[in-house]
Structures are given as structure tokens and as C-alpha cells.
Amino acid sequence: MAKAAQSAPTVAPGVSHALSNDRLLSMYRVMVLARAIDERCLSLQRQGRIGFYVPASGQEAAQIGCAAALRDEDWIFPAYREIGIALWRKVPFRALMDQFIGNSTDRVKGRQMPNHYSFRDHNFVSASSPIGTQITQAVGAAMAIQRRHVPQVTATFFGDGATSSNDFHAGMNFAGVYRTPTIFFCQNNQWAISLPRNRQTHSATLAQKAEAYGFSGVVVDGTDVHAVYDAVATARERALAGEGPTLIEAQVYRFGPHSTSDDPHRYRSDADVAEWKRKDPILRLREELRTSGALSDETESQLQEAVKREISESIEAAEGAPALDPMTLFDDTFAQRTPRLEEERAEFQRLLREGVIRP
């Protein structure tokens, strides 16, 4: 088991922001949905029905605990592993599935690989593949929020690997200098593809890096929704009170591969995974809800059934949607097509008509 660093500068206690059973149940439901989507999509990828997939299993408590502590008006600057955040924001799985396929109803018009979705209606900004680039952007948007004097924060999501990126350091530095209302939410899932956390940085914790930039960093158990919720709620309150940014290191474990193109057996042992799976965030919350009497066998089976149904219906609908119109290729490079793009578009249209290129 990759040992969590012990010398955290501060540790969120996870008690000051209590969650009601109703709220916990709705969080649990989204966690179960996220996990079930992961399992289903890994199999869809193996069947060749989607081209690629980035699983987030093991990180559900971190993501949904965080998302629940934010408000809808807060801007999310995601990496590509933030399915729990999108689902908590009520992005329907159908919309994600459309993006995984790249069909005519895909909100990003088939422009990106699976998992790189974007939903402006949900203040869920676009993910890209380069690591860490969203971090400085979240700080910039927070500077804009300061300029507009509105009660909002930006939250940016990244992994342990991204703490080595240029944008992490630039973003943390700018956030410290301008005391921006930004939450840096690091899901330390212990692995950046094949590189373990202890080879990523010699720092005892990732959270302690905040200290060098003049603000606070906290380590939380990312398998505990209470701890995560409390840390994010506290960070949000501080940000709105003008007390600046917070770095939160949520310690989790990536149960699955980095992506469907990755074989984790090359770099880590099954024993390591099994050890962490004992702390499976979904089992943990399920146990708690059953003990408190909030989750009966009946509720559990209804919930599982509803999740399965939603997933199957969404896949069916997304697979049944018309294919993307190839002519959309020439939209959105610029607000208006340049004469050159008009010319290329006309040529493309002719080649399609003549059957030289086929969608």
C-alpha cells in the first residue's frame, strides 16, 4: 500500500460541516452511478463501441464530496477524470455517452477523445489532455470573479502528477499573489500512469507545497466524503471571505488503469490495489448509511436497479443518435469562418459529394 505521507501541514477534521442523511444518500447514489458507468464503459471500450475511456473508480468520495460542497455557480476547471463532478452537477449520463461516441448530439461536436467533455450550462469548463493547463486558467477566472465582485469561487481538479507541471506552480503562485478565490483540488491517486507518488516529488505531502506560495494546504482522506466535504466547504468559505486560495490534497487510489490504453500490471501489484480496495469509498459510505439506518436493502436494490436502467437507456439512446455531420468540422475554429476556411470547406464538401472521402 502506498503510504499516505504523515507530515501534513494541516489536516481537515471533517466534523464542522455536517451532512444530513438525505444529502448523504444523494451523494451515495451519484457515487454508485459513477462506479457503474466506469464498469460499463470499460466493457464498451473492449467491445469497440467507444474508442477510449478514463476510469475514476476509487475517487468517487473525493469527487462527489468536493462537488457537493461547491455551489452550481462555482466554476469547475476539470482534468479528464472528473466524472463524479459532472454527474453531481446533474449532467445526464446520456450527454457523457454522446461525447464518448462523438455523435451528432455530442455537446463538443466530436472534437475530443472520450472524457474530455464540457458543459457550459453546468459551469463545467472544457478539459484538455495536457497536464495542469486548467490550473492557471482557474486562477485567471478567479481574478475575473474578483474584478466582478461576485460571490463565486473557481475549483480546479488535477492529480498528483500535475503538481510537477509548469501550470501548477504558476497557478499557485498567481493565486497566492492575488489571493484569488480558488480551490486547488488535487486527487492524489498515487499514480501518474506508471510513476508512483514518491517518485513525483520529494515533498512529504503535496499539500505542503501551498505553504511556499503563502496559503494553506490540507490533506484529507479522499475515501471519506465527510472529510472531503468539510475541507472543501471550509476552503469555499475562506475564499468568499477574501482569505484566498486553498490547496486540498485528497488521498485516494486509482483502482483501475490510467486509461483503457494502460496496463497497470506493468508497474504495480495486485496486493497494493487490494489493500486500497479495503478502503473503497463506496463500501465505506454504504456501511455508514446501513449502520445509521438510512439505507435499507430495499433502497439499495432500487437504487442499483435505477442506475443500471439509466445507464442502459442512455447507451441505447446515444448509440441510436445520428452520426456527426462531417461539415461541422469547419465550425468553431473561429467565430466566423475565414475566407481560407470557406475555401477548404467547399473543397471538403466537393470531395464528400464525389465520394473521394467518406465519413
Q: Which of 48, 54, 120, 49 is nearest to 91 (CA)?
A: 120
Contact 70, 78 (CB under 8 A): no
Nearer to another protein, 31 or 54 (CB): 54
Contact 221, 58 (CB under 8 A): no
Q: Catalytic pick from 169, 267, 286, 337?
A: 267
Give me the least distance between CB of 144 and another protein, in Å please: 4
For residue 23, the SS3 value is helix
Residues for the chain: how many in total?
359
The residues that touch another protein, with contacts defined as CB under 8 A, are: 75, 77, 106-109, 111-112, 116, 118-120, 125-126, 128, 130, 133, 135-145, 147-148, 154, 166-167, 170-171, 173-174, 177, 331-336, 338-340
For residue 157, the SS3 value is strand
Give me the least distance between CB of 257 and another protein, in Å please: 24
Give yes or no: 267 in active site: yes
Nearer to another protein, 316 or 331 (CB): 331
Q: Give the Cα separation of 154 and 142 in Å (integer).
A: 6
Give me the least distance between CB of 236 and another protein, in Å please: 18
Q: Which of 113, 55, 128, 119 is nearest to 88 (CA)?
A: 119
Nearer to another protein, 141 or 282 (CB): 141
Nearer to another protein, 26 or 165 (CB): 165
Give me the least distance between CB of 158 and another protein, in Å please: 13
SS3 letters for 26-94?
Answer: HHHHHHHHHHHHHHHHHHHHHCCCCCCCCCCCCCHHHHHHHHHHCCCCCEEECCCCCHHHHHHCCCCHH
Nearer to another protein, 78 or 264 (CB): 78
Give yes or no: 258 in active site: yes
Q: Which of 155, 192, 170, 214 is nearest to 9 (CA)?
A: 214
Q: Which of 357, 349, 310 is nearest to 90 (CA)?
A: 310
Give me the least distance between CB of 294 and another protein, in Å please: 38
| Integer angstrom CA distances of residue 333 from 134, 328, 330, 338 | 20, 10, 7, 9
Phi-psi region of 242 (alpha: psi -120 to 50; beta: other; left: phi over 0): left
Nearer to another protein, 75 or 215 (CB): 75
Give me the least distance between CB of 331 and another protein, in Å please: 7
Give me the least distance between CB of 127 and another protein, in Å please: 9
Q: Give the DSSP letter of residue 16.
A: S
Residues 179, 150, 165: CA angle, nearest 5 degrees: 40
Contact 225, 27 (CB under 8 A): yes
Q: Catalytic pick from 35, 236, 238, 254?
A: 254
Phi-psi region of 193 (alpha: psi -120 to 50; beta: other; left: phi over 0): left
Nearer to another protein, 313 or 347 (CB): 347
Give yes or no: 117 in active site: no
What residues are annotated to the active site?
Answer: 254, 258, 267
